[in-house]
């Protein structure tokens, strides 16, 4: 037992001011500006949630920990402060763990705080209530994991968790708080002194001048340069510097899904609508906060073409360099510092990319946009993806500061291409893993953290993973409009099972009315069968700020297997492909 805890024996109990684990955790969170908790109550954290709320922390109580965890993870992305998720032991912890792993994979700062059972019983495997060695299980799935056993160590424990989450490449951190800790009593003054306010939690990491010069030399030598902006660039909140750099460089840019809006998708240098051309034909590619993972086909293969290519990479994580292909100019540092250093080193008289490259891209972009335009204006009923997304595209154009949440397969891939984004960090989606289930958690955190209206564009399958949180959205009366692209199933609603009476694995109840779900909790439900109806309903929802769920009736035959990534499905040589 620590000296601070022992010291309570030194004076009679009634003459000294006491504090306890509950209060120290709350004080430590508040001291570090962590004023929001996303979680689900239960033993041993129920009272903690109540007390935190009473002390002014915003406590958002969810219906399932995974959704609370996703909310915390995206809160981290949006604010650069660790999002906090609070769960009960064993099953609650495991439910939150998916989100913690997701945060780590996506480089979002998050802290999963979980209550846990009695160490003495857990370690002897004597069958405690919700027994589990949570710390051991969390470790491989997050950036760091800590356990606090003494009240006097709460301040240090939280400080370590905060630093681990936000410094360097951000990620998920697990903080294990055994039930006994909450009630542990210690001298209040000693308690206050034990708290740590984390100074400069994510110190700037300045790139070496040589690496900056090398990168600019390579960029300067390019005939067909390309800049790719990843969600790391969006996370950095160096929006002005990034915009100035891209414009001064005069290089076409391709935004990754959550990098959209750093510069508007309608910017003349945006190559989003000419993606395959720029990947194939570019000769120098500068990655800014984007990794060469599967989302960029690992930087090689068919989609990158045969032309020789040089890669420049700006990333805070040195190990990211050469992960898939050779990086001829690695620039290691935080994105803000790196881009600022680039801007400073470019000097005056930087030559924009050659005009023939820019005009080839502009031509391709106009061709593709022109081909798409009539499809976006169709008023078919039931709707197809393009008709429905044409409407939502206009709505976001008119409301560029709204938050857009997006998940699904076709619903995701087509919305990403069709809905232009105009401001940084407005589009939040399935991320690196392409997971379903982020929808309602993200929507809730987006509303809470930004105070802006939220539009969720959800496949009917995707929505199902977190659908119960519509109650949470109604309970907190959040300005969230959920549009469900209801095509009766996963990818399509038309599969049939030729071998028996069970439905095919990819189809759902036909003609389901998701709009009725939100009515059960006092929200507004709308069934929209045409683009016109959809437009009216979404605009009304965004104007009212009232929780709304719109069941957008899509043609069950609209959509293709796995959206744009059908090629990743393994094929059987024994069964013929339809
Ligand atoms: C957690 C998780 N489970 C399963 C999947 C596999 N999966 C990919 S997309 C998808 C649902 C696609 O259907 P829907 O959301 O209705 O979109 P649609 O293509 O029909 O528009 C599923 C289940 C996943 N990506 N993540
Ligand atoms: Mg669907």
Q: pTM for this one?
A: 0.96
Q: How many CA atoms lie within 13 A of 140 on its CB side?
A: 2
Q: Indicate which ligand has the atom closest to the C-alpha of 98.
A: 1
At residue 574, the pLDDT reads 85
Element (H, E) at 70: helix 65-79
Quote the ligand 1 centre to 408 CA distance (angstroms). 5
The pLDDT score that the predictor gives to residue 537 is 98
Q: Which atom of ligand 1 is nearest to the CA of 559?
A: 19
Atom of ligand 1 nearest to the CA of 435: 26
Cα 72 to middle of ligand 2, angstroms: 26
Atom of ligand 1 nearest to the CA of 459: 15
- Per-block average pLDDT, block size 10, for the chain (578 residues)? 49 77 98 98 97 98 98 98 98 98 98 95 91 96 98 98 98 98 97 98 98 98 98 98 98 98 98 97 98 97 94 98 98 98 95 97 96 94 97 98 98 98 98 97 99 98 98 98 98 94 96 98 98 98 98 96 88 72
Ligand nearest to the CA of 102: 1
CA of 70 from ligand 1 middle (Å) equals 17
pLDDT at 575: 73
Among candidate residues 442, 417, 408, the one with its CA nearest the CA of residue 554 = 408
Indicate which ligand has the atom closest to the C-alpha of 553.
2
For position 573, what pLDDT does the model report?
A: 86
Ligand 1 pocket test, candidate residues 294, 382, 431, 436, most atoms within 8 A of CB: 436
Residue 324 tokens, joined? 């898939």
What percent of the chain is helix, strand and coil (3-state, nearest 5)?
Answer: 45, 15, 40
Distance (angstroms) between ligand 1 centre and the Cα of 425 equals 23
- Ligand 2 center from residue 544 Cα (angstroms): 27
Quote the ligand 1 centre to 422 CA distance (angstroms).
27
| Residue 1: per-residue pLDDT | 44
C-alpha–C-alpha distance, residues 328 and 215, integer Å: 8
Burial degree of 140 (CB within 10 A; 0-12, 13-18, 19+): exposed
Confirm or reject: Cβ of 117 under 6 Å from ligand 1.
Answer: no
Pocket test for ligand 1, best of 462, 486, 487 (most atoms within 8 A of CB): 462
Q: Is the CB of 559 within 6 Å of ligand 1?
A: yes
Residue 124 exposure: Cα atoms within 13 Å on the Cβ side: 5
């Amino acid at each position: 037992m620590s000296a601070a805890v022992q010291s309570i024996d030194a004076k009679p109990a009634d003459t000294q001011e006491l504090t306890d684990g509950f209060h120290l955790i709350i004080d430590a969170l508040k001291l570090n500006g962590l004023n929001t908790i996303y979680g689900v109550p239960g033993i041993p954290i129920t009272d903690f949630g109540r007390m935190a709320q009473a002390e002014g922390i915003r406590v958002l109580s969810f219906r399932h920990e995974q959704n609370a965890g996703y909310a915390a993870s995206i809160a981290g992305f949006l604010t650069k402060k660790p999002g906090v998720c609070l769960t009960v032991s064993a099953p609650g912890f495991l439910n939150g763990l998916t989100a913690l792993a997701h945060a780590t994979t996506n480089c979002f700062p998050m802290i999963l705080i979980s209550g846990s059972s009695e160490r003495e019983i857990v370690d002897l495997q004597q069958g405690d209530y919700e027994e589990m060695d949570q710390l051991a299980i969390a470790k491989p799935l997050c950036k760091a994991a800590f356990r606090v056993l003494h009240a006097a160590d709460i301040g240090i424990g939280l400080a370590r968790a905060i630093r681990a989450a936000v410094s360097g490449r951000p990620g998920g951190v697990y903080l294990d708080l055994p039930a006994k800790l909450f009630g542990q009593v210690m001298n209040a003054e000693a308690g206050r002194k034990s708290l740590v306010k984390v100074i400069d939690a994510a110190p700037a990491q300045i790139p070496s001048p040589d690496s900056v010069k090398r990168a600019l030399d390579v960029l300067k030598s390019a005939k067909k340069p390309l800049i790719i902006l990843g969600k790391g660039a969006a996370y950095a909140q160096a929006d002005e510097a990034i915009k100035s750099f891209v414009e001064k460089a005069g290089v076409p840019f391709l935004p990754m899904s959550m990098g959209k809006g750093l510069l508007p998708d309608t910017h003349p240098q945006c190559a989003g609508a000419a993606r395959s051309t720029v990947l194939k034909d570019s000769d120098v590619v500068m990655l800014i906060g984007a990794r060469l993972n599967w989302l960029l086909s690992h930087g090689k293969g068919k989609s990158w073409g045969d032309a020789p290519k040089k890669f420049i990479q700006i990333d805070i994580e040195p190990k990211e360099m050469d992960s898939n292909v050779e990086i001829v100019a690695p620039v290691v540092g935080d994105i803000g510092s790196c881009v600022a250093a680039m801007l400073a080193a470019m000097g005056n008289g930087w030559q924009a990319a050659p005009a023939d490259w820019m005009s080839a891209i502009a031509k391709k972009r106009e061709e593709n946009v022109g081909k798409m335009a009539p499809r976006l204006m169709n008023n078919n009923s039931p709707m197809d993806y393009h008709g429905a997304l044409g409407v939502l595209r206009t709505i976001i154009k008119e409301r560029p500061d709204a938050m857009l949440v997006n998940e699904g397969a076709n619903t995701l891939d087509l919305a990403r291409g069709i809905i232009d984004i105009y401001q940084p960090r407005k589009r939040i989606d399935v991320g690196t893993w392409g997971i379903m289930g982020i929808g309602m958690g993200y929507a809730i955190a987006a509303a809470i953290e930004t105070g802006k209206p939220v539009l969720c564009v959800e496949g009917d399958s995707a929505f199902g993973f977190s659908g119960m949180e519509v109650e949470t959205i109604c309970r907190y009366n959040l300005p969230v409009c959920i549009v469900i692209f209801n095509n009766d199933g996963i990818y399509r609603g038309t599969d049939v099972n030729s071998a028996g009476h069970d439905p095919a694995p990819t189809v759902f109840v036909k003609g389901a009315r998701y709009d009725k779900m939100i009515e059960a909790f006092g929200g507004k439900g709308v069934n929209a069968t045409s683009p016109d109806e959809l437009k009216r309903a979404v605009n009304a929802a965004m104007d009212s700020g009232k929780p709304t769920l719109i069941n957008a009736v899509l043609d069950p035959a609209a959509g293709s297997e796995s959206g744009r990534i059908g090629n990743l499905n393994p094929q059987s040589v024994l069964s013929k492909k339809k």
